[in-house]
Amino acid sequence: MKVIESLNIKEKAYIEKLENGLTVIIIPKQNTSKKYIIFGTHFGSIDNRFIMPSTGEEVFIPDGVAHFLEHKMFEQEDGTNSLDTLMGLGIDANAYTTNDHTAYLFECTNNFYKGLDELMSYVQNPYFTDENVEKEKGIIAQEIKMYDDDPGWQLYMNAMDCMYKNNPIKIDIAGTVESISKITPDVLYKCYNTFYNPSNMTMVVCGDFVPEELLEEIKKRITRNEAQGEIKRIYPPQEDKINMEYKEVEMEVSKPIFAIGYKDTELLKENREQIIPKHIAIEILLNMIIGKSSKLYKELYENGDLLAEPDLSYEFSDEYAHIIISGQTDDPQKIKDKIKETVERYKRDGLNEEHFARIKKKIYGDYVVEYNSVGDIARMFLADKMKQINSFDYIEEYDSVTKQYTEQVLKNVFKEENMIMSVVKCKTEK
């Protein structure tokens, strides 16, 4: 097995690409009772147009198929549900769908290999019928309606609408009631056979294991042995401008909530070595601009303009990249103006050396803390693998991120013309 290592935090990951194309990553954590496994496929909500490697056929699928497929995978031909089976073993099991991948996982202290039997059985053996697909449509339609009434989710989706015109990042992960009505067993099998091929999948396991022994146990349970060629995904051309600057809706909220975004138009698929330094620099900048220890946050909080520390995130893939700053306030425009003012001052005067060094240390500490949890480690390695990133590189490349480099990222990414705001206002009485 190939071994990658972070000398800084004394952690190792063992990686093996099996003959059928499946990548297995094992991160041993000695003296821990918890075991965590996550089995993921590089198939998310943005993958709605592709060419099937097996036939060369170009396929368009309805929005929401990746999420629908995730729901259906638990149902077995004998009438059992694998989620119930795992929970009956005292195992905490779940699944989720994101923009770029779908994952099936469980955490346990006992019965790991019984859980592995069930996980690998249901993920490798789909069972879709007209009847069970129709039944699922009603369940997912209820979930979609629930999200339609969720202010936080609508805030985020409207922010995506502000930033992107045609990019599939705008697609709700669950789709719409109309789009899921077009899903059939044939569509699900077509997507399963394309995206659930082992060569498009990764399994990450973290816990107190001997990597070579665990790998042999995984190999024993593999039933899908055929690898396939690369899946050609078709996405709309990159958009250099935002779609709209502002969008607001009224919903049942106690105070208005806001999402302020910067669309990052410098996608790094042609310059992959900059992905991690840039991500680290953006995390430092967000914390310096409006993080808990920033002057701006202190001022806004003490004046009652912000109820709590805002959520700060940078989301990216080969097809999209953006920053989101979200929180709750009576005056979203004031928050936006203050952020803009702070960014322009930093661009003009440069970053304070001492503040930069302090925040940089905090970010490093956050990275190190993630290695305390088997679940955090496994989810991180899977999500990064989907982006072709080695998770250890965030630790190893930390020192290369200088103040000068971070100031350049500030100028390149935090551009006023790429700034948007989504607001959910309090519903007014009719």
Q: What residues are annotated to the active site?
A: 70
Q: Which residues contact 293 (CB under 8 A, 6 or more apart)?
A: 287, 355, 358, 359, 362
Residue 44 CA, distance from chain mean position: 10
CB atoms within 10 A of CB 226: 11
Q: Label the pairing between strands 2-6 and 23-28.
A: unpaired
Radius of gyration of the chain (CA): 23
* Beta carbons of 25 and 194 less than 8 angstroms apart: no
Pick from 321, 45, 386, 320: which is nearest to 167 by CA?
320
* 251-264 burial: b if 16+ Cβ within 10 Å, else e: beeeebbbbbbbbb
Rounded to 10°, the helix 65-72/185-195 angle is 90
- Residue type at 94 in one-letter notation: N
* Beta carbons of 48 and 63 less than 8 angstroms apart: yes
CB atoms within 10 A of CB 122: 23
21: left (phi over 0), alpha (psi -120 to 50) or beta: left
Q: What is the DSSP letter of 398?
A: G
